[in-house]
Structure 1
Amino acid sequence: MVSEVLILGGGLAGASAALELARADVPVRLLERETGPHHKVCGEFLSIEAQHDLRRLGLDPVRLGAVPVDRVRLVSGGTRIEAALPFQALGLSRKCLDEALLEAAQSEGAQVERGVKVIALEEGKIATSTGSRTAERVFLATGKHEIRGARRDAGSGADYIGFKMHWRLAPRRMSEVGSAIELAPFDGGYAGLQCVAHDVLNLCLLVRRERFARLGGHWEDLLAELMRAPHLERLLGDAEAVFSRPLTIANLPYGYVCDPVSPLPPGVFRLGDQAAITAPLTGDGMAIATRSARLAVACLRAGSGPAEYHGKLQELVRSQVTRAMLLQRAVELPLAIRCVAGLLGLWPGVLGRLAGMTRLAQVPPM
């Protein structure tokens, strides 16, 4: 009998793991820092792999209000290229999805404690805002937040700042977006747009810190720069901002993949963004979260420890992350994106194939 598993974080990875463990009658307790449903900085793109993992757990994203995404569109200057995705993706708010997973986990017997902030991992205990906790097996799923005692190697990916804003659009504007995910590169970054409800558009973007500073260092400055693109000005010019301010995050180690022998307290498994952070433009972040949860549960139930799990996870995601980071760096270079746009203009179908090349591999057999 596996002793109680302590999950730190109630996002996509943590909640998925809690649900699967509870259904397998493994005692599980989950600590979530927020007191209720909340939005997160995320592109909210559910790839076919993430959908498969969610449906394994008995969760149907379409029943939660997810909308179809079956095309990819690249808009750069006056160039607009569109192609079919090699799969049907979905757009769905993380606020809705994460809460549905937590509720499902609770209904299966998982103990969920809200309003508990994890502060540090120390030898033999976990420091939280409500006191110290102990557990033989810990799933570290705190997402983008760094935890003392379990910091990730920042590398060169920490030069970016991420923003997210939801907009409520008129029906005629939503029809312009349609069922496409739209990528709009600009000097020093890129924006991604897609529908996440019948009348809500998610704008998620990444910009290099120095570029943001040159623009003025404020959201309004960055938004004004984006609005110089005619199609974005047309879409967002009369849109209603759903949030009073955008959600933002910085200092993330994009390109990070956990090391199987990284120094962590015994019994700690990294999940989701704590395990790997891929380039957002490929839309694989949510799939990495669900796959890491699935793999961690499988390893735990098979009697495997963190080192074996981290090795299998590294094998699963390393190639995807490497390809995704190369693609991200390419779209930030004005000359490179002009060349790519020219080639894609001649062969639009290549755009869909590029999307297919960044998919995750299958979960290795246990």
Structure 2
Amino acid sequence: MVGSAIVIGGGLAGGAVATRLARAGHGVTVLERETGPHEKVCGEFLSVEACEDLASLGLPPERLGGVPIDRVRVHRGRHTVEARLPFLAHGLSRRVLDEALLETAADAGAEVVRGVRVTGIQGYTVLASDQNRESNAILLATGKHDMRAMPRAAPSTKDGYVGFKMHWRLPAPALAELDRSIDLMLLGTGYAGLQRVGARDANLCLVVQRSQLTRVGGTWEALLADLMPQPAFARLLGSAQPLFAKPLAIANLPYGYVLSGEQDGPEEVWRLGDQAAMTASLSGDGMSVALRSARLAAQGLLQGKTATQFHRQLARHVGPQVRMAMRMQRLSERPIALAAGVLAARLWPGLLTQGAKATRLPSLGVPKAEINRWSTLSLRTH
């Protein structure tokens, strides 16, 4: 059983695992390099599994201002297919959600230290910019960004992916059209996902192959200009106002990566979230994987498991989802398969519903008593 833990990274996985361990009565320190609330490159789509895990922490998305999503629309050129999702999802800004998780962890008794840069790990010692810290367990939850001293052994691809995120203030007609839907625009070399994350605001997550970005000029502005002639883009974003001075961006995304057990670096380090598994973002389950890894890691630490045992358990748990999501993403990037898939979905829109259902993580279930207990406590602090 863990006596004390250091969590490197205060995102979804870091905040969630710190909360669960602190509530179990164990000492936890979270080291977060940012000094305050901030945005992250993310689709910001909370699927049913993510909502379930957040509810078990006393943070149901609707309480944080999450926007309900129960439909999916897929656009390809002039064609649009719409279907109901087989679950209720939510759109919610990472700036809001990550901060709520860190506050919840602190309320549970975790020490949250901001503005700290971790420079290395030696055995059970974390080397940081302010001071070195020793711990019985070290959890690496730095998201898509590798810590320089602890890179993932993720395979590199010949034509990697580049991800962008931009929030937009939508005019009334676009808000009304988007409503409770997530709109997916299939590009053949990636996709764009647009959904509401606030009363008037929407998040655009755009993922393309590097070759496509290079082909259009290599800049965000050039990429938008290339995509705007598509009817769905022009209709929804033509009069929208960008809310960031520039988009958030990240390159070399290792989609399909799953740490199976063995790892580079100290065996004592537990990798969570994108550090352990990165599913295709098209499936909308990236945040679910992060939160689920935190739940399983907390259980494993409390049961006395090793990091390797946890990584193998997580790989068994999320591996099928990652493989299915990657198959769907690769098919969407093959012109013939994409055209056939859009045609099939136009003839049978329920195909989209089945696709959404097929790419979910297995449910672990959350006792209502647990949800009610932590929800009551969270109401007092949020």
Shift of 1:238: 1.2
Shift of 1:363: 4.4
- For structure 1, the residue ranges without an aligned partner over 5 or more in a row are none
- For residues 24-51 of structure 1, give each alpha carbon's deviation from its aligned partner in whole angstroms, at most 9, with x where no partner exists: 1111000001000000000001111111
- For residues 244-285 of structure 1, give each alpha carbon's deviation from its aligned partner in whole angstroms, at most 9, with x where no partner exists: 100000122111001212233132111111110000010111
User: 2: distance between equivalents of 1:219 and 1:67?
Assistant: 27
| Native 8 Å contact 1:122 1:149 kept in 2 | no
Shift of 1:156: 4.5
User: 2: distance between equivalents of 1:331 and 1:64?
Assistant: 33
Between 156-165 and 84-93, report the one with greater CA deviation.
156-165
User: 2: distance between equivalents of 1:353 and 1:264?
Assistant: 40
- Show the counterpart of 2:247: 246
**SS where residue 204 of structure 2 aligns?**
strand
| Native 8 Å contact 2:188 2:338 kept in 1 | no
Letter in 2 for 1:304: K
User: 2: distance between equivalents of 1:78 and 1:67?
Assistant: 27
- Show the counterpart of 2:191: 190
Letter in 2 for 1:195: R
User: 2: distance between equivalents of 1:112 and 1:145?
Assistant: 20
Identity over aligned pairs, percent: 51
User: 2: distance between equivalents of 1:193 and 1:336?
Assistant: 23
- Show the counterpart of 1:121: 121
User: 1: distance between equivalents of 2:310 and 2:37?
Assistant: 30
Instruction: State how many pairs are aligned.
Output: 365
- Show the counterpart of 1:147: 147
Shift of 1:126: 2.3
Between 126-135 and 311-320, report the one with greater CA deviation.
126-135
User: 2: distance between equivalents of 1:301 and 1:209?
Assistant: 42
| Native 8 Å contact 2:153 2:264 kept in 1 | no
User: 1: distance between equivalents of 2:15 and 2:272?
Assistant: 11
User: 2: distance between equivalents of 1:291 and 1:277?
Assistant: 13
User: 2: distance between equivalents of 1:275 and 1:172?
Assistant: 41
1:352 aligns with 2:353: yes
- Show the counterpart of 1:19: 19
- Show the counterpart of 2:217: 216
| Native 8 Å contact 2:123 2:268 kept in 1 | no
- Show the counterpart of 1:44: 44
Shift of 1:241: 0.5
Letter in 1 for 2:54: L
Letter in 1 for 2:31: L
Shift of 1:351: 0.7
TM-score scaled to structure 2, two decimals? 0.92
Alignment root-mean-square deviation, CA: 1.6
1:127-138 to structure 2, matched below 5 A, reads 127-138=127-138
1:314 aligns with 2:343: no
Shift of 1:22: 1.1
User: 1: distance between equivalents of 2:355 and 2:126?
Assistant: 42
**SS where residue 197 of structure 1 aligns?**
coil
1:32 aligns with 2:7: no
- For residues 138-196 of structure 1, give each alpha carbon's deviation from its aligned partner in whole angstroms, at most 9, with x where no partner exists: 11101111123422233245701000000001122111112111110113111011111
**SS where residue 30 of structure 2 aligns?**
strand
